[in-house]
A and B are shown apart, each in its own frame.
Chain A
């Protein structure tokens, strides 16, 4: 199955925290896709649960991968907007 994988470096000083997490979940739910967020080499979690994402305890400086199980411009745009949301509060 085709998928889009986009790496993102978290540079929000308090990591991937409650507010961006909830906005990412909103994006993922709206897309209807089982988007996965994972650390490189790990299984990761389906990003429709804020608790599962918060429990990853992602700190600033870590690199994550956004995996959108689809292809084409739309999938890429979704990955890009998730990446942007993760760092939207970064200085």
Chain B
């Protein structure tokens, strides 16, 4: 096998074929001045939009409802008369209809600024604009796909006009750009074409060379054959009980009911802020206690871990004013908000204790975003002050990791929030579309930080749970168990698959897997080392 290119896999089955590098029709995306009148160009634009939209509709959504919603949203934007109004100044400046449309989309993208949801769709909107341009300028062609043979289409990104040509001879698609919900990914998923998107370096592949598209392995392998493809790991139970306790994450009564229908043992993260985000005035202690009581009663049997309010200027609570901040992620959020509104924080803790008294459930309470021993002390004092017996903190900032030995006697347990811990370790916004690779839980920098935390927590006798999304990856849950965490907590939908994984290994095997992941230098190596290690164990 030759070199491999990593990306994000779409689909389960692999594909193997010859590289067909995609060449876009000449002139389709160039900026052109017009010799026709503004009103003629305006008409051409309106007609081109109608023709382009029709073409996108004809391609359909493959019957997937979510995909249909995305396509409808895109078409609604493209067909909005307001877009033609935005193109008008560019038509007045002498550009042709297609150029004016490109420029209007640039204006729109500038106007939407850092709106991530919109920015993640800009590539798709430009793709539709290229389709419209082809229609306006009467350009067809560019690459044509031979009807016979087996081809892997390689491109920067693909547009509806490109994918419309795909027939049975296309056995794989590789793009440098795009994410799991881009047009290319959607079309490939709906037609069952194996694809790897966001594959940096794909354009270096040579025309005609044989490659393996291996979506399960998130990679493209030069010279690879189908038999080299990564097989999804299947877990075979060797124990009746999982290696570590698996709990559920909840945020509402509905979540609690859903979680109770799974095999989760208790709740590892009850996000309480959801109860407050749409309240205009501060609910009374009795009102809060009633809500907690309902949720405690509905929650799956086992210990319930409640997290006190975790809000901030990016997730504002109307009755806890907190001015505008330049960097909400680095501002007054988590327990810092609780400290700024001490009366509310005491009330919330009191309400939790009232609900514990009323239901008799085994409940422990933790605070989010604790980065110093002083903050941990302040929280523990408040919580114990209202009678709460078991008090803990979330580990979300790197600063608290080396301080864990000093938390003995202050708190009773720790819970790692891997999402925020990644964000603060790597200085990478976890919602930012280009930061995905840095906030990957398989980053060895994160895995080794968790290992360091456990080296401090074990001798201190502090139990450690993990309630971030990372634990929902079954293989990663084995890594966490091998590192020594005492419990993991995941969304209800992931409970059964994580349980399957944690019943399939014993401690020494999990430790081997954790060691393999921890010894890697890159996330790709860590993922591969862990799954190779697991497969060896299966024999």
User: What is A's interface to B at a CB cutoff of 8 Å?
Assistant: 9, 11, 13-15, 17-19, 21-23, 25-26, 49-52, 54-55, 57, 60-61, 63, 91
Contacts and interface: CB of A to CB of B under 8 A. Distances in A.
A50 B77 contact: yes
Contact of B80 (A13, A14, A50): A50
B113 A11 contact: no
Contacts of B26: none
Given A9-B318, A22-B72, A25-B76, A61 B277 contact: yes
Of the listed residues B116, B274, B277, B314, the one surrounded by the most CB atoms of chain A closer than 10 A to its CB is B277
Contacts of B80: 49-51
Interface in B456-494: none
A52 B82 contact: yes
Given A52-B82, A60-B314, A61-B315, A19 B69 contact: yes
A10 B231 CA distance: 43
B318 A17 contact: no
B81 interface: yes
B121 interface: yes
For the residues of B in contact with A, the DSSP-based class is helix
Nearest to B118: A18
B111 interface: yes
Given A19-B70, A22-B76, A51 B82 contact: yes
A54 B112 contact: yes
A91 B274 contact: yes
B143 to A, nearest CB: 30
B92 interface: no
Contact of A60 (B111, B280, B315): B315
Interface string B377-419: 0000000000000000000000000000000000000000000
A54 B318 contact: no
B65 to A, nearest CB: 12
B70 A49 contact: no
Nearest to A7: B280
Contact of B83 (A23, A51, A61): A51
B158 to A, nearest CB: 20
Contacts of B113: 57
A25 B73 CA distance: 10
Contacts of A55: 111-112
B316 interface: yes
Nearest to A12: B117
Contacts of A23: 69
A49 B112 contact: no
Given A18-B73, A54-B112, A11 B117 contact: no
B68 to A, nearest CB: 11
A34 B464 CA distance: 55
Contacts of A49: 80-82
B278 interface: yes
Interface string B56-73: 000000000000011011
Contacts of B121: 18
Contacts of A11: 277-278
B108 A9 contact: no
Q: What are the 3 tightest A-B residue pairs by CB atom distance, in nearest-first order?
A: A22-B73, A61-B316, A17-B117
Interface string B87-122: 000000000000000000000100111011110010
A50 B73 contact: yes
B192 interface: no
A57 B112 CA distance: 7
B251 interface: yes
Nearest to B72: A22
B272 to A, nearest CB: 13
Nearest to A25: B76
A19 B73 contact: yes
Given A17-B115, A17-B118, A57-B115, A51 B315 contact: no
A91 B251 contact: yes
A31 to B, nearest CB: 16
Nearest to A45: B82
Nearest to B274: A91
A6 B70 CA distance: 27
Contacts of A21: 73
Nearest to A51: B82
B117 A14 contact: yes
23 contacts: A18-B77, A18-B117, A18-B121, A19-B73, A19-B117, A21-B73, A22-B77, A26-B72, A49-B81, A49-B82, A50-B73, A50-B77, A50-B80, A51-B80, A51-B82, A51-B108, A52-B82, A54-B118, A57-B115, A60-B315, A61-B277, A61-B318, A63-B318
A33 to B, nearest CB: 18
B7 to A, nearest CB: 25
Of the listed residues A13, A17, A23, the one surrounded by the most CB atoms of chain B closer than 10 A to its CB is A17
Nearest to A18: B73
Interface in B274-308: 274, 277-278, 280
